[in-house]
Structure 1
């Protein structure tokens, strides 16, 4: 037997004598619901689970849950000599392994007091490959972000150009993503013959491609409407959460460790630090963060050009050059607590070491992962947004779960 149909009839006179503003959104009954986004969802950029509390389509709260990709980096590092930790550093931010290696290796060299003994050719090669990897990382960030919000072609374009970079890095050290190329005191090997020429050709090829990317994606009307005023991160909030990298610079603070700390040969190079300005929306929104990454790609090309000029004119390859000449035979630092940091593709990547002066194995090793701090702000900048905007907000932060859940 079917249930009787109940019909409701709306008549304006029923509400004619109602109090003013009685039936506003604030007085209506809330219907909150808890949704799980991930860890299998591709737009969470890895095995991240977001516990999302929604009221209809409006986000009430977001709680990120970790633990689905725990790599045990710190415990591995506390059972290995310093030089054998480098492959594990690669596996944290696996799309920017050169930058991670650079930060770790510089930290150990400073702890040993040999940072001033590194040959200039080695330093310029390190910066060159690190900026190549910065480009590859930003291409992943921008390309997958466009894919997240519905644009398929930019993803294919950027993966195509990223493939050129990966082939050059593979030519350098034999690996596509996990390199173990930057060693404590030097490099695994010198650049292959002809690398400088091929890298110069790639720079000439990529410059107009970045202009196309700016015009066809970043300045695209649909892209602007989808990202402007969305996921706004005020500068005080970014600072309080410890955000760094493009996430912090997108909120307007010109803070880049390549300038602030001036490590390696970066003080000798001419480049700008782009920041968000709220040109099409609100300062610190999703559009600003993506614009900063595209602008940083142009600056990386300027850095690479200067490195190539130094490597071909002032510090050219010679037959007697040995990139491992300063590599210590035994790494046994004095007993100390030491912290070193560098500008990775996603922000400040730091390493804390505690040594006892007797062993070549650190007593304690702790990584300060920039993606972890950047991810922690997602609850604050998502409240009040629409559920469809959550994916756009996640993508604009550019996280890699190997670094978050290390």
Structure 2
């Protein structure tokens, strides 16, 4: 059966340049207003504007306008060799650079067929630094979220504990946030001498601090009143929008790629997958999403302890250990299309590669941003909310715009 082409009738009024705003004043009802909200969340710093249609204090509709951060990651990646892309990977979700690198490097290694040859010590170090970075990312998420809704002290406490992690990672590779540490086939360098002992001291210091965080923020009566039954995200809606990470698990689905895909050495480690239960309100509300992040901090501590134990017993450093021994001199995968995904602190981060088999430069590289998908559900969960609650909803999604406007 032949499919008839759609005929378009040319009318000049149908081909006007699109206006910057979705809504025009003449389209509004009598009591409605257009407000420009933001940027409110500290990680948006000028690159996310929310166009809000309000009826008094109630939100009628929300239109997110992405800003002008323009990391241009994908075009950078298509103009340089695979191994030189890693510094640009860091600059997407700059709060979780180690996790960005881990996913990207695993993809290139599997394309080359060397993923099974990576030394165990390298794999455990990768997981160790990635989980440290996961803790640091969650500390920013929870601390800034508390500040968004009016509590300043938790932000200072979270930044204090995050600073310990930043110093450990800076000691490892010389950079505070943009690391370029995990390389294709290995690492930039082995852990510094004494790193395992100092990291163990930090974990022992952190455990009671996590309990303080839980009591000060998550179980705080005012925090519960501000976040329970606000921004409820039903599980089917979260799945349809491609949400992932704590946003999806806060709606009750126990989906974590560290378990589902079992990449790196995660299958050898014992940890749980926290999910939202609707304990303080409706399942999938702002409180559930923050509860999942707080509980994931405990699980990351468990993973770090197991990595340290293996690195100090079975996988001790030796004189002949070279973390760059498997680093290929020339990266030229066979012609193929390949997709890799991993569990970032904010959700599923994926990389799609197209290699032509002739060049050491990707013909096509596309990043699947978890923040972009999580942001896309904002209009759906904001209808009927109060304007003050809209700020709480935005913060609960834990957005980093470097990954959205990439």
Q: TM-score, normalised by structure 1?
A: 0.92
Please tell me whether residue 131 in structure 1 is matched to residue 137 in structure 2.
no
1:49-198 alignment to 2 at 5 Å? Answer: 49-198=49-198
Q: Tell me, what secondary structure is at the counterpart of 2:79? A: coil
Determine if contact 2:245/2:343 at 8 Å carries over to the other structure. Answer: yes
Could you tell me which residue of structure 2 aligns to residue 19 of structure 1? none
Residue 252 of structure 1 aligns with which residue?
252
Q: Does the CA contact (< 8 Å) of 1:334 and 1:356 recur in 2? A: yes
**Unaligned ranges ≥5, structure 2:** 1-28
Structure 2 residue aligned with 1:337? 337
CA deviation after TM superposition for structure 1 residue 229, in Å = 0.1
For residues 237-294 of structure 1, the C-alpha deviation after alignment (integer angstroms, 9 at most, x for no partner) is: 0000000000000000000000000000000000000000000110000000000000
Equivalent pair of 1:33/1:55 in contact (CA under 8 Å)? yes
How far off its partner does 1:205 sit?
Answer: 0.4
Kindly indicate whether the alpha-carbon contact (under 8 Å) linking 1:43 and 1:395 is maintained by their aligned counterparts in 2. no
CA distance in 1, matches of 2:319, 2:90: 30
Offset at 1:43?
Answer: 5.2
CA distance, structure 2, for counterparts of residue 337 and residue 300 of structure 1: 33
Q: 2:305 corresponds to which residue?
A: 305
Residues of 1 paired with 2:43 and 2:180: CA distance? 28
Residue 156 of structure 1: how far off its partner (Å): 0.2
* Aligned-pair CA distance for 1:38: 2.7
Equivalent-residue separation in structure 1 for 2:164 and 2:77 (angstroms) = 32
In the other structure, the counterpart of 2:17 is none
SS of the residue 1:147 aligns to: helix
Residue in structure 1 matched with residue 352 of structure 2 by the alignment: 352
Query: Per the alignment, do residues 69 and 120 of structure 1 end up closer, same or farther by CA in structure 2, a change over 3 Å counting?
Result: same
How far off is 1:216 after superposition?
1.4
Task: Provide the rounded CA distance (Å) in 2 between the counterparts of 1:294 and 1:230.
Answer: 18
Partner of 2:394: 394
Which whole-Å CA distance do the structure 2 matches of 1:84 and 1:220 have between them? 46
Q: Distance in 1 between matches of 2:255 and 2:353?
A: 24
Contact 2:49–2:67 (8 Å) recurs in 1: no
Cα distance change of structure 1 residues 162 and 43 upon mapping to structure 2, 3 Å threshold: closer
Contact 1:118 1:186 in 2 (8 A): yes
1:219-298 equivalences in 2 (<5 Å): 219-298=219-298
2:101 and 2:169 map into 1 onto residues whose CA distance is 14
1:310-329 matches, within 5 Å, as: 310-329=310-329
Give the secondary-structure state (helix, strand or coil) at the position aligned to 2:51. strand
The number of aligned residues is 377
Report the CA distance shift for 1:365/1:64 in structure 2 as closer, same or farther (over 3 A): same
Give the Cα–Cα distance (whole angstroms) in 1 for the partners of residues 91 and 216 of structure 2: 33
- Kindly state the Cα deviation for residue 30 of structure 1 after the two structures are TM-superposed: 4.6
CA RMSD of aligned residues (A): 0.9
Structure 1 residue aligned with 2:207: 207
Distance in 2 (alpha carbons) for counterparts of 1:287 and 1:30 = 35
Q: Deviations over 1:276-327 (max 9, x none)?
A: 0000110000000000000000000000000001000010000110000000
> Displacement of 1:45 after TM fit?
3.0
Which segments of 5 or more consecutive residues in structure 1 lack a partner in the other structure? 1-28
| 3-state SS in 2 of match to 1:371 | helix
Change (3 A) 1:44 1:53: farther
Query: Residues of 1 paired with 2:286 and 2:42: CA distance?
Result: 15
Give 1:44 deviation, angstroms.
6.9
The answer as to whether partners of 1:224 and 1:287 remain within 8 angstroms in 2 is yes
Q: Give the Cα separation in 1 of the matches to 2:385 and 2:82.
A: 45
Does the CA-based 8 Å contact 1:37-1:44 persist in structure 2? Answer: no
CA distance in 2, matches of 1:402, 1:178: 13
> What is the CA-CA distance between 1:187 and the residue it aligns to?
0.1
Aligned to 1:18: none
Choose 1 or 2 for highest CA Rg. Answer: 1
For the residue of structure 2 that corresponds to 1:36, the secondary structure is strand
